[in-house]
Structure 1
Amino acid sequence: MQQPIKLNERQRSEMIDSLQTYFDQEKDEQLGDLAAGLLLDFIVEELGPIFYNAGIEASYQFMNEKIEDLFGIQVRER
């Protein structure tokens, strides 16, 4: 069972600020705290798992490469 992605208050606040800054600078729109919070909730719930799974896959590939490296340092029997 997949656990929902949890943000602490600092992370949530920083992400809301980032969304507001983006909308202000890139779209010349003001995004209020409520709207930014709702957008962040959508991103976390709908898109977060995709990013999470991509990170898991990248970690899996990295670890597999490192495990394969272990075979390269085996002592060869005579």
Structure 2
Amino acid sequence: MSEIEFSKEEKALIVNRIQLYFSEELKQSIGRFDAEFLLDFFSREVGAYHYNRGLYDAQAALAAKLEDVQDAIYRLERPTDFKR
């Protein structure tokens, strides 16, 4: 798996969110450098867990849709003397 990367704009947005969280929830100030460091740490150490969860959710959604397609195909089937 390749490393999780964000564009400069995405990274700036996430860093701002981290700073806002620290300010509002923890009542602490965190600088841009520290927020970027924290983002890099979580991306490296925790990001794969979230990424994999997203893949599992996508697989489940796809499996459900495929089941719908299989049911639709089954309903199109005409009766014959063939055994399944």
Shorter-chain TM band? over 0.9
State the Cα distance separating 1:28 from its structure 2 match: 1.0
State the Cα distance separating 1:40 from its structure 2 match: 0.5
- Equivalent residue for 2:77? 76
State the Cα distance separating 1:77 from its structure 2 match: 2.5
Q: How does 1:1-78 map to 2 (within 5 A)?
A: 2-74=1-73, 75-78=76-79
Q: Which amino acid aligns with 2:72?
A: I
State the Cα distance separating 1:5 from its structure 2 match: 0.5
Q: Which consecutive unaligned segments of at least 5 residues does structure 1 have? A: none
Q: Which consecutive unaligned segments of at least 5 residues does structure 2 have? A: 80-84
Cα separation, 2, equivalents of 1:17 and 1:71: 46
> Percent identity of the aligned residues?
25
Q: TM-score, normalised by structure 2?
A: 0.87
Give the number of equivalent residue pairs: 77
Larger relative contact order (CA 8 Å, sep ≥ 6):
1
Secondary structure of 2:30's counterpart equals coil
